[in-house]
Amino acid sequence: MAVSQYQTFADRAQLKQFLGSRSLVLVGMMGVGKSSVGRRLANALDLPFVDADKQIEEAANRSIVEIFETYGEAHFRDGEKRVIQRLLAEGPQVLATGGGAFMNDETRSDIADKGISIWLNAELSVLIGRVKRKPTRPLLQQPNPEKVLADLLEERNPVYALADITITSRDVPHEVVVDDILAALNAYMADDGKQAMGTKHE
């Protein structure tokens, strides 16, 4: 794949200046590709990549499945909130979050203060095909995982839609989705600049 016009050094430098200490925070359902896309996005922008779920596992010295089974979802969510809060203080970086993280009001507020949120949005059919490849996801350990996934989408999508940027995750090479994000970030920076100019002239 040809190198995108958005992956030039000048654009990286401009974005880093724009971010300051803020992070690019990937949100969305399990299976949308937050980790795989996030690693490539971080590489394209020469930023560190951090996976919040991996950090939670390291902090607890247990897998996420074990945390769910031993302590329950409420305990996991509380730990997730604290870990993401800590990570956001360590930006700039590309931060991939778990599927339920953005549903927490405090976490969402922290992300708004210290990051730019990017929702990777995928259709149910795409998600089903992907999550079947990883049968260890705690929330899908049910008799009818497809219905669970559909119900989660219905519940979560309106909250994910509050993110600063929305990108469609689909069955294309990850680099294509990265390119979509980079283009959207350029537009986001341009819009922010226009708003700043408008404020100065008021």
Examine residue 3 and state whether it is found in any structural domain, yes or no.
Answer: no
Q: Which residues pair with 165 in a beta bridge?
A: 118
Tokens of 11: 């654009």
116-142: average pLDDT: 77
93: which DSSP letter? S
6/177 Cα distance (integer angstroms): 12
For the ranges 33-37, 42-46, 79-83, 117-121, the maximum mean pLDDT occurs at: 117-121
Examine residue 176 and state whether it is found in any structural domain, yes or no.
Answer: no
**Domain count for the chain:** 1
Please tell me the predicted confidence (pLDDT) of residue 70: 87
pLDDT band for 199, please (50, 70, 90 cuts): very low
Examine residue 57 and state whether it is found in any structural domain, yes or no.
Answer: yes
Worst-scoring range by mean pLDDT, 43-52, 84-93, 141-150, 162-171?
141-150
8 Å CB contact between 91 and 100: no
Q: Which residue has the higher pLDDT, 38 or 66?
A: 38
175-191: average pLDDT: 90
Tokens of 156: 């979560």
Residue 143 has pLDDT above 80, yes or no: no
8 Å CB contact between 118 and 188: no
Examine residue 9 and state whether it is found in any structural domain, yes or no.
Answer: no
Examine residue 12 and state whether it is found in any structural domain, yes or no.
Answer: no
Worst-scoring range by mean pLDDT, 28-37, 86-95, 137-146, 161-170?
137-146
Examine residue 196 and state whether it is found in any structural domain, yes or no.
Answer: no
Q: At what angle do helices 174-201 and 34-45 cross, to 10 degrees?
A: 60
Query: Among candidates 99, 16, 122, which has minimal Cα distance to 52?
Result: 99
Please tell me the predicted confidence (pLDDT) of residue 14: 84
Cβ neighbour number for residue 144 with a 10 Å cutoff: 10
140/96 Cα distance (integer angstroms): 20
Please tell me the predicted confidence (pLDDT) of residue 97: 96
Q: Which residues pair with 107 in a beta bridge?
A: none
**Which single residue is written with the structure tokens 């700043």?**
196
- Strands of the 94-96 sheet, one edge to the other: 49-51, 94-96, 23-27, 115-121, 165-168
Please tell me the predicted confidence (pLDDT) of residue 125: 86
Average per-residue pLDDT for the chain: 85
Please tell me the predicted confidence (pLDDT) of residue 94: 97
Query: How many residues belong to the chain?
Result: 202
> What tens digit of pLDDT does each residue of 54-103 get?
999 998 888 888 888 888 888 888 989 999 999 999 989 999 999 999 99
Examine residue 195 and state whether it is found in any structural domain, yes or no.
Answer: no
Please tell me the predicted confidence (pLDDT) of residue 135: 57
Q: Which residues pair with 49 in a beta bridge?
A: 94
24: which DSSP letter? E
We report the CATH number of the domain holding residue 119 as 3.40.50.300
Please tell me the predicted confidence (pLDDT) of residue 60: 86
Range(s) of the domain holding residue 42: 21-170
6: which DSSP letter? G
Examine residue 197 and state whether it is found in any structural domain, yes or no.
Answer: no
Residue 1 has pLDDT above 60, yes or no: no
Please tell me the predicted confidence (pLDDT) of residue 200: 45
